[in-house]
Amino acid sequence: MHLSFIRTAKRHGLDPYHSIISKKKWSQEKAASVLNVTQPKISLLSRGQFSGFSLGKLINLLSKLNQDIEIVVKNRSSSKRNHVGHVTVTYL
């Protein structure tokens, strides 16, 4: 599921990390300090490069940014021909 999440986020241009950090008017150094990661990691997140992060880490960082995270798991409609589940990411 992690790779699907990342591909979906990138495809939809979702960059909650950059948006939130910009709204708070934090420098990358300040964000790194608050999130307890290095400044280069913040730089990667700001550019939408999530590949070095686990899904758990990404969720943890959003939580530290005072964001609510909602994960919904539901049965796939039996009318769907494809047997692979679908991942949807929405950033509000």
pLDDT at 86: 67
Residues 2-21: pLDDT tens digits?
556 655 655 554 567 888 88
Sign of CA dihedral 61, 64, 67, 68: positive
Residue 31's domain comprises 1-92
For the cut 70, the answer to whether the pLDDT of residue 79 exceeds it is no
Give the separation between CA 79 and CA 89, rounded to whole angstroms: 22
Asked if 46 and 56 count as a contact pair (C-beta separation under 8 A), the reply is no
pLDDT at 45: 86
> How many domains does the chain contain in total?
1
CATH code for position 41: 1.10.260.40
Residues 20-47: pLDDT tens digits?
888 999 999 999 999 999 999 999 888 8
